[in-house]
Structure formats: structure tokens, C-alpha cells
């Protein structure tokens, strides 16, 4: 048995077993990434799809996903690779890409406008070793690395990645501890600390998916946007007002089909509240 140090769960994993995320295992008494190099998805996407609004707009980026996640969002649109038991069980059968393979693929697509690699689709931080090893190579090629992440990781994990990561879109899924704990099975405190540290070292954009009856109050958006606006850089200068926030519309899916899609007018209303504190607020899925 060994203890995993990636997120707040600190899973004690038996030899050969998997942690909560379904992608970290214990091998010879130490925790390793069972999904290292295992690729479920690979596509050349517009950078805006991640979403990024103010990072290399108009460019394409080679997007890669593996399997597993350390949250349990009941509305997950990628549940078949994020927390599907079938996806985790199929891990050994997935095609493997070494860091060198993936870096060469990124370089190959440069002639089509590719600017680098985006680790996305599932939660990349649970396999951060693969992200780190590949991003080093991509960095040396003069290409960029971005992460699309839930931000649920220890700062020690983030520190290993920051020298090689150019931008992150981090989910700030709500702004109450009860929502994070009871609905997502996560930790708001950990995500906030992750965002604070990331914003001091790389380009950060944030995304909040608005779930009717869960995280859709005016008060919550007011508190969230005020907090974002207070974030500082390494020198103590306030930079939060310039951090883009994407406010997105929810559609019923997966285990959350008991409520309608978010009303478009309410998404616009919450964006208006956020714009009282933030310079760049975008609405999505509207």
C-alpha cells in the first residue's frame, strides 16, 4: 500500500489497485500513473473550444485526453472517459503514446496552424507525470502547452508543471463548499489555492458552468467574481480583474437530467453581475 499525493483525497492504494480517480495505482510500493501515455482522444481543435478567449485567439491546438478523474460531477459530458468503469478497465488496451510520440505529433501539425498541445477531455492532473514529461519536449520545440483542468491538485503537483505550461483554463465550478463537497465530491479550498498559484505564473482563464438550483444565485456570482478580481501576481499587484471568466449554460445529461437547461437570460444576467468586477466575461453554450 502507498499514499497518493496528487489531491486532497490522499488515497491509500493497495498494491495493484486503483485510487478514487481510477487512473493512479500502486506498483512495487509506490504510486504511479496507470494512465501514463494512454490516449483516448486526439484532435486538432480551435483554441476557443477549450475555451480560451484571450490566449492565441484564432489558432489551432492538438488536444489530447486520457482517462480518469478525481471529481464526480453528475453532469459530466465526458463521463465515458472521465469516470466510466469501462474506460478505466480498458486502460491497458488503449493505444500508448510516449512523450516523444506526442511531441512529434504536435510538431507535425504545426504546418496546419498547430501551436502546441492541450491536455484536456479527462482530468490531466491525475496523470501529471505524462503532462510534465511531454510538456518539456514541446517547450524545447518552441510550441505551447495548455491545460484544461478542474484544479483539484496539491500545489506540489502544480509546481512541477508550471515551468512548462503556458496557459490553463481552470474550472471554478461554484463558490460554496457545500456544492463542491456534496455534488462534485471535491474541495473548493484546494481549487482556489490552485488558481491563486497558477495565476501568478501563467495565463489563466476560468470557467463556471451554471447549474439551475445549485450555483446560480446572484449572491454566489457576486462573491465569486469579487474573489477573482482580488487575485495578485507574484509581486503583489492586483491582476484578477484581467482574468477572463467563462460563464456557461448547463444542459441536462448523464446523471443530472432532473432539471432543465439553464435559461439563457439568466446566464446573461449572471455575466452582467460578474462584469461589475471583471474586465473579460464570456458566455458559453448560449
Pick from 276, 278, 135, 141: which is nearest to 199 by CA? 278
- 86-98 pLDDT, tens digit per residue, is 666 666 678 889 9
Lowest mean pLDDT segment, chosen from 29-43, 90-104, 126-140, 271-285:
90-104
The count of structural domains within the chain is 1
Q: Is residue 6 part of a domain?
A: no
Does an H or E element contain 218, and which? Answer: helix 218-229
For residue 268, being part of any structural domain is answered with: yes
Does residue 4 sit within a domain? no
Neighbours of 253 (CB within 10 A): 13
Decide if 26 is inside a domain: no
- Domain presence at residue 17: no
Residue-wise burial string across 98-117, b where 16 or more C-beta atoms lie within 10 A, e elsewhere: ebeebbebbbebeeeebbbb
3 belongs to a structural domain:
no
* Residue span of the structural domain in which 232 resides: 35-284
Classify residue 7: in a domain, yes or no: no
Find the CATH number of the domain harbouring 248.
3.20.20.70
SS3 per-residue string spanning 75-87 = CCCCHHHHCCHHH
Is the pLDDT assigned to residue 210 strictly greater than 90? yes
| Per-residue pLDDT reduced to its tens digit, 228-253 | 999 998 889 899 999 999 999 999 99
Amino acid at each position: 500500500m502507498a499514499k497518493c499525493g496528487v489531491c486532497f483525497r490522499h488515497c491509500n492504494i493497495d498494491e495493484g489497485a486503483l485510487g478514487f480517480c481510477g487512473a493512479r495505482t500502486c506498483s512495487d510500493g509506490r504510486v504511479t500513473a496507470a494512465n501514463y501515455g494512454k490516449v483516448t482522444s486526439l484532435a486538432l481543435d480551435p483554441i476557443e473550444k477549450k475555451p480560451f478567449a484571450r490566449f492565441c485567439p484564432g489558432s489551432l491546438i492538438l488536444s489530447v485526453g486520457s482517462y480518469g478523474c478525481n471529481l464526480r460531477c453528475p453532469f459530466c459530458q465526458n463521463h465515458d472517459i472521465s469516470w466510466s468503469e469501462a474506460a478505466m478497465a480498458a486502460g491497458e488496451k488503449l493505444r500508448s503514446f510516449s512523450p516523444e510520440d506526442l511531441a512529434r505529433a504536435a510538431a507535425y501539425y504545426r504546418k496546419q496552424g498547430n501551436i502546441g498541445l492541450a491536455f484536456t477531455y479527462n482530468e490531466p492532473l491525475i496523470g501529471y507525470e505524462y503532462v510534465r514529461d511531454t510538456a518539456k519536449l514541446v517547450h524545447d520545440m518552441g510550441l505551447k502547452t495548455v491545460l484544461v483542468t478542474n484544479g483539484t491538485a496539491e500545489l506540489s503537483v502544480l509546481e512541477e508543471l508550471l515551468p512548462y505550461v503556458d496557459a490553463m483554463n481552470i474550472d471554478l465550478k461554484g463558490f460554496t463548499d457545500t456544492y463542491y463537497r456534496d455534488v462534485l465530491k471535491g474541495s473548493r479550498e484546494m481549487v482556489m489555492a490552485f488558481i491563486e498559484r497558477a495565476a501568478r505564473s501563467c495565463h489563466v482563464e476560468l470557467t463556471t458552468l451554471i447549474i439551475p438550483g445549485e450555483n446560480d444565485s446572484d449572491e454566489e456570482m457576486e462573491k465569486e467574481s469579487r474573489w477573482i478580481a482580488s487575485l495578485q501576481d507574484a509581486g503583489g499587484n492586483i491582476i484578477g480583474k484581467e482574468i477572463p471568466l467563462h460563464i456557461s449554460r448547463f444542459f441536462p445529461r448523464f446523471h443530472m437530467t432532473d432539471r432543465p437547461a439553464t435559461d439563457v437570460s439568466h446566464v446573461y444576467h449572471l455575466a452582467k453581475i460578474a462584469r461589475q468586477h471583471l474586465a473579460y466575461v464570456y458566455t458559453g453554450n448560449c
